[in-house]
């Protein structure tokens, strides 16, 4: 948290002036009881109306100056806090972009989003409140005590006892409640989960007739929630009554001590009133301070979570310069895996084990296997999205770890499994592949990706606006655009990670034909579940549970590799050539057709 606050240093002036003006206001407030005392002792006791009016006007004047200084303070505090938020958000966003895939997997995107939004707002709000109140409240509390000492030392001792006592109660109760409130929140989450499950799984629950069990489950969970709420309620409810007793006890003692001093002629009646007023000021401020501090502890937790992200050192470093003798041509690249193993951070078992193969420039390599066999893991090693934990991956004979980031990734066009597009025009999206590409290049890529026709049909062609998440395109259209995007950079290596699953057979075939005829002859990796898509590959890698169980051309594998033969047979049952299902994109089961 402290490290995070360094970002405030750009707003040094505001962060100092804000609290300073706040202190000025507090100082004026502390002056008020003295003025009232003077009114009683001089104005009332001596019947001096002129003096009374003058002093009352002074009170009003103090109010005006107080207003001006607190408005100034609010402005500086807001400026510093908002500026601080802007800087940290910028840093955070920039930093996250340097993290590796495996770090992003470890943290999880939803967590990152919460850090940048919810946590960030909380911290910014707290910085604002702290600048305004963190100094003011203790200042008023201790200021009141010090003023009491200037009025009468002996009577002021009552303050010296009362303040620690009140603080102990206020902070004690609040601190005791924090973990209890957290427990309430956990129990509420459980109740929420129960409700959610019952909605999402309503058909299954009704099919299995679990309604009564679910009601029971809900009642139990909610009883536990209500119990926790009532318990913390009882403890939180202690604060006001206990502080009330302490304050009034202190007032009684104060007046009595004051009476003794007045009787001895050491104190005036007005001064007793002043002491009494100081006493009532401290309680309000102590409660404000305590709730501020509770809020702060929450924000410190948020701040630490943000700092934890900022503290993550990117675990993948790329050399700045290409080493001597690095092939620089953008011709098709050769790929080699030598005894490669991969184990994801935190995973129990290897995702890949001892993979060795080579691909010559311009080859088409097919990768096939069941779910979780390691197909995507394998191709992700080529652009170095993850680092191999054993063995080495070579591109053009050079270990991928020796390439500068841009040099390696610039060679490779990736079409991810999930067809991700971004809000913006089709042109903007395609230019992700190469910011300098002209429309001709874009059209060539679209042509090869079998997307030219539908893009031409869209209003505005390349200028057609894609909605967030590509919602205004069909799955097949999205997929073809992501393929075009990768082709725009004329990659030496093209990786299609199960990227044709939403295409019908004819389009899939035309796409493969077009890829074979690309003038720059990239080395192509096709990950697929369909054996039909790989029939003409130069080499097919068959993966099963992270191991390579077969490698070769289709005909060889059909004879030599059991797993491959099984996959093939499962897809080519009967006399029909293809078993692409009817209505294969599936129905939504919402019953809303």
Partner 1 sequence: MQGRNNASSNDAVWKKVLCRIGVYRWLLALSVGLAGVSTALTLWIPLLAGHAIDCVVARGNVDFVTLRGILGKIVLSAAVTAALQWLMNTVNNKIAFEVVRDIRTEAFEKIQRLPLRYLDAHAYGEIVSRVISDADQFGDGLLMGFTQFFTGVITILGTLLFMLRIHAGIAAVVVVMTPLSLVVARFIATRTHTMFRLQSETRGEQTALIDEMMNHQKVVQAFGHEEASLADFDEINRRLSACSLRATFFSSLTNPGTRFVNNMVYAAVTLAGALAAIGGSITPGVLAAFLSYVNQYTKPFNEISGVMTELQNSLACAERVFDLIEQPAQSSDETLPSMSESVSGQVTLDHVSFSYVPQTRLIENFCLDVKPGQRVAIVGPTGCGKTTLINLLMRFYDVDDGAIRVDGEDIRSVTRASLRRSYGMVLQETWLRQGSIRENITMGKPDADEDEMIAAAKAAHAHSFIRRLPDGYDTVIGEDGGSLSQGQKQLLCIARVMLCLPPMLILDEATSSIDTRTEGKIQDAFGEMMKGRTSFIVAHRLSTIRDADVILVMKDGHVTEQGRHETLLAQGGFYASLYNSQFAT
Site for partner 1 in 408-467 (CB under 8 A): 409-410, 414, 416, 420, 422-423, 432-433, 435
**With binding defined as CB under 8 A, does residue 79 bind partner 1?**
yes
Give the CA distances from residue 289 to residues 131, 141, 284, 292, in Å, rounded to whole numbers and listed in that order: 12, 10, 9, 5
Strand extents, DSSP E, 311-456: 335-342, 352-359, 364-369, 390-395, 398-399, 412-415, 424-425
Task: Select from 459, 440, 437 the least CA-distant residue to 448.
Answer: 440
Nearer to partner 1, 168 or 260 (CB): 260
Considering the complex, what minimum distance in angstroms separates the CB of residue 378 from partner 1? 15
Considering the complex, what minimum distance in angstroms separates the CB of residue 196 from partner 1? 5
Q: How many CB atoms lie within 10 A of CB 238?
A: 14
Torsions phi, psi for 382 (to 5 deg): -70, -50
Name the DSSP letter for residue 589: T
Nearer to partner 1, 363 or 497 (CB): 497
Considering the complex, what minimum distance in angstroms separates the CB of residue 195 from partner 1? 5
Is the alpha carbon torsion for 286, 287, 293, 294 positive or negative? Answer: positive
**With binding defined as CB under 8 A, does residue 265 bind partner 1?**
yes
**With binding defined as CB under 8 A, does residue 493 bind partner 1?**
no
Stretch that binds partner 1, among 258-266, 304-312, 331-339, 437-445 (CB under 8 A): 258-266
**With binding defined as CB under 8 A, does residue 244 bind partner 1?**
yes
**With binding defined as CB under 8 A, does residue 317 bind partner 1?**
no
Stretch that binds partner 1, among 145-153, 338-346, 354-362, 569-577 (CB under 8 A): 569-577
**With binding defined as CB under 8 A, does residue 218 bind partner 1?**
yes
Task: Select from 499, 465, 497 the least CA-distant residue to 480.
Answer: 499
Q: How many CB atoms lie within 10 A of CB 377?
A: 22
Residues 504-563 close enough to bind partner 1 by CB under 8 A: 505, 529-531, 563
Site string for partner 1, 219-238 (x = CB under 8 A): x--xx-xx--xx--xx--xx
> How far is 253 from 100, CA to CA, in rounded Å?
66
One of 139, 385, 403, 525 touching partner 1 (CB under 8 A): 385
- How deeply is 514 buried, as exposed, middle or buried, from its count of CB atoms within 10 A (0-12, 13-18, 19+)? middle
One of 31, 101, 318, 357 touching partner 1 (CB under 8 A): 101
Nearer to partner 1, 266 or 360 (CB): 266
- How deeply is 565 buried, as exposed, middle or buried, from its count of CB atoms within 10 A (0-12, 13-18, 19+)? middle
Query: Applying CB under 8 A, what is the total number of residues that bind partner 1?
Result: 166
Query: DSSP secondary structure string, 290-336?
Result: HHHHHHHHHHHHHHHHHHHHHHPPPS----SSPPTT-----SPPPEE
Considering the complex, what minimum distance in angstroms separates the CB of residue 102 from partner 1? 11
One of 270, 303, 522, 546 touching partner 1 (CB under 8 A): 270
Nearer to partner 1, 52 or 330 (CB): 52
Could you tell me whether strands 539-544 and 547-552 are parallel, antiparallel, or unpaired per DSSP bridges? antiparallel
**With binding defined as CB under 8 A, does residue 370 bind partner 1?**
yes
**With binding defined as CB under 8 A, does residue 574 bind partner 1?**
yes
Name the DSSP letter for residue 353: E
Site string for partner 1, 39-78 (x = CB under 8 A): xx--xxx-xxx--xx--xx-xx-xxx-xx--xx--xx-xx
Stretch that binds partner 1, among 94-102, 293-301, 357-365, 392-400 (CB under 8 A): 94-102
Considering the complex, what minimum distance in angstroms separates the CB of residue 147 from partner 1? 17
- Give the long-range contacts of residues 51-60, CB within 8 A, separation 24 or more: 59/32, 59/35
What are 344's strand-pairing partners?
none
Encode 7-41: b = buried (16+ Cβ within 10 Å), e = exposed.
bbeebeebbebbbebbbbbbbbbbbbbbbbbbbbb
One of 324, 440, 459, 587 touching partner 1 (CB under 8 A): 587
Nearer to partner 1, 303 or 491 (CB): 491
**With binding defined as CB under 8 A, does residue 320 bind partner 1?**
no
Considering the complex, what minimum distance in angstroms separates the CB of residue 36 from partner 1? 6
> How far is 414 from 487, CA to CA, in rounded Å?
9
> How far is 273 from 254, CA to CA, in rounded Å?
10
**With binding defined as CB under 8 A, does residue 288 bind partner 1?**
no
> How far is 247 from 163, CA to CA, in rounded Å?
9
**With binding defined as CB under 8 A, does residue 89 bind partner 1?**
yes
Nearer to partner 1, 128 or 162 (CB): 128
Residues 154-173 close enough to bind partner 1 by CB under 8 A: none
One of 356, 358, 513, 570 touching partner 1 (CB under 8 A): 570
One of 405, 521, 536, 554 touching partner 1 (CB under 8 A): 405
One of 168, 301, 345, 578 touching partner 1 (CB under 8 A): 578
Considering the complex, what minimum distance in angstroms separates the CB of residue 561 from partner 1? 13
Nearer to partner 1, 91 or 338 (CB): 91
> E strand or H helix at 370, and its extent?
none
Residues 176-215 close enough to bind partner 1 by CB under 8 A: 188, 191-204, 206-211, 214-215
Site string for partner 1, 7-46 (x = CB under 8 A): -------------------------x---x--xx--xxx-
Stretch that binds partner 1, among 3-11, 80-88, 395-403, 437-445 (CB under 8 A): 80-88
Q: Hey, is 352 helix, strand or coil?
A: strand
Which residue blocks in 201-268 are alpha helix, DSSP H?
202-207, 211-236, 239-263
Contacts of 99 (CB under 8 A, 6+ apart): 107, 312, 314
Nearer to partner 1, 75 or 149 (CB): 75
Considering the complex, what minimum distance in angstroms separates the CB of residue 447 from partner 1? 20
**With binding defined as CB under 8 A, does residue 96 bind partner 1?**
yes
> How far is 531 from 564, CA to CA, in rounded Å?
9
């Amino acid at each position: 948290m402290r490290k995070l606050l360094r970002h405030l240093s750009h707003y040094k002036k505001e962060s100092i002036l804000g609290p300073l003006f706040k202190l000025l206001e507090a100082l004026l407030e502390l002056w008020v009881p003295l003025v009232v005392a003077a009114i009683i002792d001089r104005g009332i006791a001596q019947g001096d109306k002129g003096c009374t009016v003058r002093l009352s006007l002074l009170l009003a004047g103090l109010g005006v100056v107080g207003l001006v200084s607190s408005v100034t303070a609010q402005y500086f505090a807001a400026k510093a806090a908002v500026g601080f938020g802007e800087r940290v958000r910028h840093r955070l966003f920039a930093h996250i972009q340097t993290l590796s895939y495996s770090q992003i997997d470890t943290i999880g995107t939803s967590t990152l989003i919460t850090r940048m939004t919810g946590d960030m707002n909380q911290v910014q709000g707290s910085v604002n409140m702290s600048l305004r109140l963190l100094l003011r409240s203790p200042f008023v509390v201790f200021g009141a005590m010090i003023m009491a000492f200037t009025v009468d030392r002996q009577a002021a001792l009552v303050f010296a006892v009362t303040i620690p006592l009140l603080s102990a109660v206020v902070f004690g109760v609040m601190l005791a409640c924090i973990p209890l409130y957290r427990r309430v929140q956990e129990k509420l989450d459980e109740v929420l989960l129960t409700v959610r499950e019952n909605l999402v799984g309503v058909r299954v629950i009704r099919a299995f007739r679990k309604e009564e069990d679910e009601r029971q489950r809900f009642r139990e969970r909610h009883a536990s929630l209500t119990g926790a709420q009532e318990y913390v309620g009882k403890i939180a409810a202690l604060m006001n009554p206990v502080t009330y007793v302490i304050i009034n006890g202190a007032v009684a003692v104060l007046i009595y001590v004051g009476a003794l001093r007045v009787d001895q002629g050491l104190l005036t009646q007005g001064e007793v009133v002043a002491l009494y007023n100081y006493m009532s000021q401290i309680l309000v401020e102590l409660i404000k301070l305590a709730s501020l501090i509770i809020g702060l502890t929450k924000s410190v937790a948020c701040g630490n979570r943000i700092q934890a992200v900022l503290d993550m050192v990117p675990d993948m470093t790329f050399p700045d310069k290409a080493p001597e003798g690095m092939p620089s041509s953008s011709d098709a690249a050769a790929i080699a895996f030598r005894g490669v193993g991969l184990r994801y951070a935190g995973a129990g078992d290897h995702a890949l084990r001892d993979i060795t193969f080579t691909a010559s420039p311009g080859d088409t390599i097919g990768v096939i296997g069941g779910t979780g066999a390691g197909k995507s893991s394998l191709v992700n090693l080529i652009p170095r999205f993850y680092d191999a934990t054993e063995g080495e991956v070579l591109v053009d004979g050079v270990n991928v770890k020796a390439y500068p980031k841009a040099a390696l990734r610039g060679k490779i066009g990736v079409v991810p499994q999930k067809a991700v597009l971004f809000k913006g025009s089709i042109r903007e999206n395609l230019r992700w592949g190469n910011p300098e590409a002209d429309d001709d290049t874009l059209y060539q890529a679209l042509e090869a990706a079998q997307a030219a026709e539908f893009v031409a049909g869209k209003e505005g062609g390349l200028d057609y606006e894609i909605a967030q998440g590509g919602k205004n395109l069909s799955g097949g259209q999205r997929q073809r655009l992501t393929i075009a995007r990768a082709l725009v950079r004329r990659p030496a290596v093209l990786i299609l990670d199960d990227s044709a699953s939403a295409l019908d057979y004819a389009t899939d075939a035309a796409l493969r034909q077009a890829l074979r005829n690309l003038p720059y002859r990239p080395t192509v990796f096709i990950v697929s579940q369909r054996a039909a898509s790989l029939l003409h590959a130069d080499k097919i890698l068959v993966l099963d549970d992270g191991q390579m169980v077969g490698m070769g051309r289709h005909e060889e594998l059909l004879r030599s590799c059991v797993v491959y033969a099984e996959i093939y047979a499962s897809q080519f049952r009967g006399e029909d050539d293809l078993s692409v299902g009817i209505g294969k994109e599936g129905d939504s089961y919402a019953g809303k057709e």
